[in-house]
């Protein structure tokens, strides 16, 4: 046992599963986490299996002391992602992380992001046309949000990262990239919660591992193919980027240079593309999907957002860069949705040098930490009546601890693409609200599940009606 954790309380333990058995029921994971947070005052320990022990943090006052550092992801917890995402910004640390973070930061400068708003609008309008056709064809007005929104965010990323204009939103068969992402994330969670499968020796003898490796190959084949095509194009036409209205993410990766004139290697480019495809697609889809569901759940808030959208957009069916800053109430509503339904429910860190918390606890090198964003966003010490959906919580800047609202993490290792994601979410939701009234499905209640990104085990359906 790590000496730093020996005095921490813990829930009841199983001889083999450790404390992991408390989270086997995927329908009650969040309720269990909240219950433990209250019981142990936001700080406790637990094992996932007979050996692997970590500290659980669910209170803002403790989380801020970890998030405010550049400590890397938990080397064990995130090691399962390594085969897929390689050494991109999400998983790298130390000098490599600092160098590549510095090289990639210009890719998310406002001047780069501005032209993307037109692409967000194009993708959102393609979704609107798809839903309108569904209503006109008499196919019913019930929509499964995550399916359609995932395709839309994939469409958007393909345009913004690679400059690829596809018809993936209208394909009859599910896009192979989307299929592979969903399968890989499901298998990763299945492995993480089952101590028997934590051993690589055992895992790679199971059918799950064969499916995992097959789908990883599909994902890599897709991204490598597009990267090679762009490299060949730039080699044949060196002035290609000079005559474009905007730069794709891959153009910036291929042209990035550090202070010594050295660029990213082919492997580094592939790792960053895989990382951004994963983080920019699935997390954004979850954020938009739950925001639309919450708008359907709270019709008065929805109507107030729609009135603002109509006033800002007028007759236009495109959200401009300047429009984004005018959608103030929609922004507050989106932030509240990200609070109650964080797209990434938890993150993990690993202590690389000894630290002392404000409560006097000494953390030794190697301590693994599990941070529940879901619980931080419900910390009653920070959020009054945390169960209430109230956009006005976000009306004033600076009235709450900066680490109380962390849908994109916080501190030095915050999400580099958070402005990209927020802009896409706002533009998409605005265009949908301009065209449709969203309503709840009677009797439906989602069953949120703590996967890599937030999912509902029983889907996320809503009803749509054309705006009168």
Give CA–CA dist 97/90, Å, rounded.
9
Per DSSP, 161 falls in state: I
Neighbouring C-alpha atoms within 13 Å toward the C-beta of 380: 8
What is the token pair recorded at 242? Answer: 């000079």
Helix or strand run (H / E) with residue 372: strand 368-372
Are 195 and 20 in contact by the 8 Å Cβ rule? The answer is: yes
- Mark 90-116 as b/e (b = at least 16 C-beta within 10 Å): bbbbeeebebbeebbeebbeeebbeeb
Angle at CA of residue 208, ends 205 and 210, nearest 5°: 65
Per DSSP, 160 falls in state: I
Give CA–CA dist 112/100, Å, rounded.
18
Are 36 and 9 in contact by the 8 Å Cβ rule? The answer is: no
Q: What is the DSSP string of 118-134?
A: HHHHHHHHHHHHHHHHH
Helices (H), 51-115: 60-67, 79-85, 94-104, 110-113
415 is in an annotated binding site: yes
Give CA–CA dist 134/140, Å, rounded.
7
Q: How many angstroms from the chain centroid is the CA of residue 305?
A: 23
Which residue reads 């499964």 in tokens? 144
Are 257 and 102 in contact by the 8 Å Cβ rule? The answer is: no
Which residue reads 């082919």 in tokens? 266
Give CA–CA dist 448/23, Å, rounded.
13
When computed from its CA atoms, the radius of gyration of the chain, rounded to whole angstroms, is 22
List the one residue out of 344, 352, 312 whose CA is nearest residue 331. Answer: 312
Are 466 and 440 in contact by the 8 Å Cβ rule? The answer is: no
Per DSSP, 73 falls in state: -
Task: Give the residue ranges of the annotated binding site for heme.
Answer: 415
Task: Give the residue ranges of the annotated binding site.
Answer: 415
């Amino acid at each position: 046992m790590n000496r730093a954790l020996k005095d921490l309380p813990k829930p009841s333990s199983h001889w083999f599963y450790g404390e992991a058995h408390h989270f086997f029921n995927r329908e009650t994971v969040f309720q269990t986490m909240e219950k433990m947070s209250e019981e142990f005052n936001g700080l406790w320990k637990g094992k996932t299996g007979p050996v692997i022990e970590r500290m659980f943090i669910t209170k803002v006052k403790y989380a801020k002391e970890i998030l405010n550092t550049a400590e890397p992801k938990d080397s064990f917890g995130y090691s399962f992602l390594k085969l897929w995402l390689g050494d991109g910004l999400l998983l790298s640390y130390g000098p490599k992380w600092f160098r590549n973070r510095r090289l990639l930061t210009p890719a998310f400068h406002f001047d780069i992001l501005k032209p993307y708003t037109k692409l967000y609008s194009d993708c959102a309008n393609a979704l609107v046309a798809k839903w309108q056709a569904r209503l006109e064809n008499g196919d019913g007005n019930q929509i499964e949000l995550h399916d359609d929104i995932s395709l839309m965010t994939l469409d958007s990323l393909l345009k913004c990262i690679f400059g690829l204009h596809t018809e993936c939103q209208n394909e009859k068969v599910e896009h192979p990239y989307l299929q592979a992402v969903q399968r890989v994330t499901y298998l990763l969670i299945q492995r993480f919660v089952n101590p028997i499968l934590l051993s690589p020796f055992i895992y790679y003898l199971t059918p799950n591992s064969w499916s995992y490796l097959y789908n990883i190959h599909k994902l890599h084949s897709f991204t490598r193919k597009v990267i090679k095509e762009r490299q060949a194009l730039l080699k044949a036409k060196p002035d290609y980027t000079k005559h474009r209205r905007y730069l794709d993410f891959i153009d910036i990766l291929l042209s990035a240079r550090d202070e010594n004139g050295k660029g990213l290697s082919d492997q580094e480019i592939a790792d960053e593309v895989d990382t951004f495809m994963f983080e920019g697609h699935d997390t954004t889809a979850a954020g938009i999907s739950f925001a639309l569901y919450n708008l359907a759940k709270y019709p008065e808030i929805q109507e107030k957002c729609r009135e603002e959208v109509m006033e800002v957009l007028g007759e236009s069916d495109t959200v401009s860069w300047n429009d984004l800053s005018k959608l103030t109430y929609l922004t507050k509503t989106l932030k509240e949705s990200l609070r109650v339904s964080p797209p990434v429910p938890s993150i993990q860190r690993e202590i690389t040098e000894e630290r002392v918390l404000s409560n006097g606890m000494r953390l030794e090198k190697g301590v693994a930490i599990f941070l529940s964003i879901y619980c931080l966003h419900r910390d009653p010490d920070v959020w009054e009546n945390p169960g209430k959906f109230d956009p006005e919580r976000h009306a004033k800047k600076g009235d709450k601890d900066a680490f109380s609202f962390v849908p994109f993490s916080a501190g030095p290792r915050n999400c580099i693409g958070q402005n990209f994601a927020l802009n896409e979410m706002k533009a998409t939701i605005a265009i949908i609200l301009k065209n449709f009234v969203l309503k709840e499905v009677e009797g439906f209640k989602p069953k949120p599940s703590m996967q890599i990104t937030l999912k509902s085990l029983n889907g996320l359906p809503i009803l749509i009606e054309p705006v009168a």
